[in-house]
Amino acid sequence: MSFVDHHSDPAKIVGSVDKDWWRGAVIYQIYPRSYQDSNCDGVGDLAGIIHRLPHVARLGVDAIWISPFFRSPMLDFGYDVSDYRDVDPMFGTLGDFDALIQRAHDLGLKVLIDLVLSHTSAEHPWFKESRVSKENPKQDWYVWADPKPDGTPPNNWLSIFGGSAWQWDGERMQYYLHNFLAQQPDLNFHCPAVQNELLDVARYWLDRGVDGFRLDTVNFYVHDAQLRDNPPLAPERRNANTAPEVNPYNFQDHLYDKTQPENLEFLRRLRAVMEEYPAITSVGEVGESQRGMQTQRDYTAGDDLLHMAYDFDFLSGVYPSGSRIKEVLERFDSIVTEGWACWAFSNHDVERHPSRWNMTEEARRLYAAVLMCMKGTICLYQGEELGLTEAYVSYEELQDPYGKQFWPKFKGRDGCRTPMPWVRDNAYGGFSDAKPWLPVAVEHLERAVSVQESTPESTLAFYCAMIAFRKTHRALAKGNLRIIEATDDILLLVRSLEGQEVLCAFNLSDGEQPLNLPAGDWRQDKGAPFDTDAGNAVLRPWQAYFAVRETASETTI
């Protein structure tokens, strides 16, 4: 499998390297703790990922995104980094990582890794040095502040994980900022030495062969240097995209603790580092409920910032009716005018979408087809291709500190992080020979890879077919989009590129719907895994119809 898309814009191909490969790609997210255990300790690892990469390649995706595997005390399961330049022994060694890169590239897969730059673990040597005194060489590498005269925190900023975002440190006799766990102190991006060191971290992994980064909490890097209080947020404006509804974090308008204008300059510096390498991409996670798309616009405008930003609209609990999809896609195009979208229905932080949206099997498949026809890059989360639902994890088995804080109204993120089921006839689903770190959901065993890979009608086969269909038509990956019709039950859109249009019609309901084709010389395309008969002029429940036609030439955006 070649890495080169020979139909890409020639101006963006340098030698045999397509710098534009990421635009319209399908990226498969791997949560390493739960993918495959190779050494029988109950936790997935890099060697396990290597063993299962052929499964990913057979899906037909373009790249993998691996959640953090760096050295860490694992209080937030790798998102609390204690050494940016090493693999945690739980996951293997740097040699294992190099082997993973090589194997993935041999299979035609790009590799993105999760970089957590906004904060470190309190166990990181930088923080241990910084907290010693106010005069040491790293004294300003973290966000330190004196208490108010009454001893309370410097301002009203809140942690996403609950409570104040400030933690008192008796050794230094100051508060330090933590937007997440108290054991995850925030780095001070106002310090030039911090920025320089983090840019060197990026170079370190680029030198090891990674093809890009998923940048965790990318808008949290820079804080307001004046430490001004956040204003309250009116109840009608509260949005649970960034934090669950039970979290008072939603009660503030986060004007000062994140999304500061100085962040853009650091992103330009990071992009310049990436441009030193042949074909690197970046996906920024923008945690911003009130101004999400505006921030995506700001962070992806032009060619010197992020390549794309990860959107949260379809990771929420709002059901994606045809009307909702139209509203989100058109709002994105009207706001993020220069940027490129990255869409997902599920990831490691949210309830799996079949459960979140209470979807039938037919609905799950149809919405997978809708996702594959959206304009943007697509992220799939491990197990999504099997149609996995959210697993139940009892409080006694819970690992996620977020869930423990807000149980039972918010049960945390463990239900979407349970081990991947590879075989049915094994209590642990072929994930491990030892008791896994999280329980394997019994209902997931019936959806194991071994069950589905030999069944032509399986959800797994459906995902493979839809990904292949997307690749067959470049307009679906890189073309423009216009919506012809959108109601709660119907979505009809057209993707167009370089003289070809692909019409995609979806019945998002459990009743028959009329198929109102726009005028034109449309020819039905039966390459997708649907058996719709256009002659009936109706779409059966949860069915799709695809057609193509030739038009005047149009270039990609």
Dist CA 45 CA 91 (whole Å): 4
Active site residue 276: yes
Where does 30-188 have alpha helices with state H? Answer: 46-59, 94-106, 125-130
Dist CA 416 CA 388 (whole Å): 9
Dist CA 149 CA 156 (whole Å): 15
Give me the residues paired with residue 114 across strands: 214
- Biggest alpha carbon–alpha carbon distance for the chain: 79
Dist CA 266 CA 196 (whole Å): 10
Dist CA 174 CA 227 (whole Å): 14
Q: What are phi and psi of 31, to 5 degrees?
A: -95, 100
160-165: long-range contacts at Cβ-Cβ below 8 A with a sequence spacing of 24 or more?
160/242, 160/243, 160/247, 160/249, 160/287, 161/401, 161/402, 161/405, 162/247, 162/248, 162/249, 162/405, 162/406, 165/257
Where does 79-228 have alpha helices with state H? Answer: 94-106, 125-130, 192-207
Choosing from 262, 265, 276, 533, the catalytic residue is 276
Q: Is 267 exposed, middle or buried (0-12, 13-18, 19+ CB in 10 A)?
A: buried
Dist CA 363 CA 343 (whole Å): 18
Choosing from 62, 96, 216, 390, the catalytic residue is 216
Cis ω on the peptide bond leading into residue 192 (within 30° of 0)?
A: no
CA distances from 540 to 219, 298, 465, 505, 516 (A): 44, 42, 20, 11, 13
The 8-class DSSP code of residue 64 comes to E
Cβ within 8 Å of residue 3, ≥6 positions away = 17, 18, 21, 105, 108, 110
Give me the residues paired with residue 30 across strands: 66
DSSP H or E stretch at residue 13? strand 13-14
Report the candidate in 34, 342, 110 with the shortest Cα–Cα distance to residue 215. Answer: 342
Amino acid at 422: W
Dist CA 250 CA 50 (whole Å): 40
CA distances from 117 to 1, 22, 120, 197, 198 (A): 33, 22, 7, 10, 7
Q: Alpha-carbon torsion 522, 523, 527, 532, what sign?
A: positive
Name the residues annotated as catalytic.
Answer: 216, 276
